[in-house]
Amino acid sequence: MLPFRTIIAFLVILTTLLYAIPSNSKDDIEDLVYIEQADRKIIAIRDGIPATPFELRSKEEVLWLDSDGYIGALLTNERFIAISLSSSGWLEKPLKSKEAYDGSPILSPTLALLVTKERVIGFDAISHRFIEQSLRLDEEFVAAEANDYVAAVISSRRALGLASGGSGFREIRFRTSETFQSLKTTPQVVTVRTSWRILTFGVSSPSWSEVRL
């Protein structure tokens, strides 16, 4: 059996190490933005302070609404709307007539994503702006995922990465006969595995890196 002093010393060292390791879990990002619909009005509370509400248009319907961390967003039949913790107010991206989208938007504490048949629309709560990337007619949506500070969209032709505070979507194209296998995100890193490579993208290195298999 170990001496009592040795056990105490071990516990002190272990506790010190645990406190020294930075945590990147979503629980560290407090929910500071809250949005809600009240009849035809959309209301936002940011860090306990109400923002100026807005009224939906006469034929506008809310299809999806959510908030997380520093961002609140909603999708209507006419536009994609978002508000961040420190933006000047509500921001919007109009949708084209009969623009079809692939599933509901994806929301993380700092990023919102909407994938349509024609484009990928992102909202960044750090830079308080919408970011857009067009899709080709022969390009099919495959997968999308968002985490605390990064998001990714996979199509049949490429991977698109987006980091909070970045300049826009970063792409890496798939090679002929290269097939997508999996997508994984952590709070700051995106990892994509294909039949040929492992691709990574992150906040600290906002360009794609690859390791050949």
Question: Where exactly are the structural domains of the chain?
Answer: 27-212
Structure tokens at 85: 């913790």
Reduced to 3 states (helix: H, G, I; strand: E, B; else coil), residue 58 is: coil
- Give the pLDDT of residue 22: 39
- Given a contact cutoff of 8 angstroms between Cβ atoms, the answer to whether 115 and 98 are in contact is no
Confidence of residue 102 (pLDDT cuts 50, 70, 90): confident
- Give the pLDDT of residue 98: 86
When pLDDT is averaged across residues 131-145 and rounded to a whole number, the result is 96
When pLDDT is averaged across residues 164-186 and rounded to a whole number, the result is 96
Alpha helices in the chain (DSSP H): 4-20
Confidence of residue 103 (pLDDT cuts 50, 70, 90): confident
Please give the model's pTM, rounded to 2 decimal places: 0.85
* Nearest-angstrom CA–CA distance, 52 and 163: 28
* Nearest-angstrom CA–CA distance, 9 and 72: 47
- Give the pLDDT of residue 171: 97
Q: Which of 38-52, 93-107, 136-150 has the lowest mean pLDDT?
A: 93-107
In the predicted model, is pLDDT for residue 35 greater than 70?
yes
